[in-house]
Amino acid sequence: MLKSLEGMTVGKVAREADVGVETVRFYERKGLIKRPRRPSNGGFRAYPTDVVERIRFIRQAQELGFSLQEIKELLSLQADPATDCADVRERAQTKRNEVKIKIAQLRKIQKALDTLIAACPGKGPTRSCSILEAFEQPKTKKKSPIQKGR
């Protein structure tokens, strides 16, 4: 088995970053990490060791809800020495505001589901299921528990 003398194989990168090899390949396809050239001697592609930190950065940002496009922009900001920390802070604040909106939406959904579940007798034929009936009601009729929760 041929080994590259410098850098890391894709398998080693994946293990060190605690991701699968397919995740590394996916990030390459999305342009988040650079795919190294295949050596002319037929050996394995050698990734620089800093790619592990880059993948960890990507994963952490994903866990905080940043999209891959937003992460790409953050990585560009990180690479630009002229970027001010305020630019990064502004993006984090925008993401936090988006999360607040999503939480409010999820609370409305939870409330609507609570109402539907409370109204359901929990037994009997599905043709008279109050939950299924609520899903079938058009929006123009009397508001269903689903619409009330919004």
| pLDDT 10s digits, 79-127 | 999 999 999 999 999 999 999 999 999 999 999 999 999 988 888 888 8
pLDDT for 142 equals 56
pLDDT for 121 equals 84
Alpha helices, DSSP H, located in the chain: 10-17, 21-29, 50-63, 68-79, 85-119, 130-136, 145-148
The DSSP code for 8 is B
To the nearest 10 degrees (0 to 180), the angle between helices 68-79 and 50-63 is 130
The CATH T-level fold of domain 1-83 is Multidrug-efflux Transporter Regulator; Chain: A; Domain 2 (1.10.1660)
pLDDT of 146 > 80? The answer is no
C-alpha span between 48 and 52 (Å, rounded): 8
The DSSP code for 124 is S
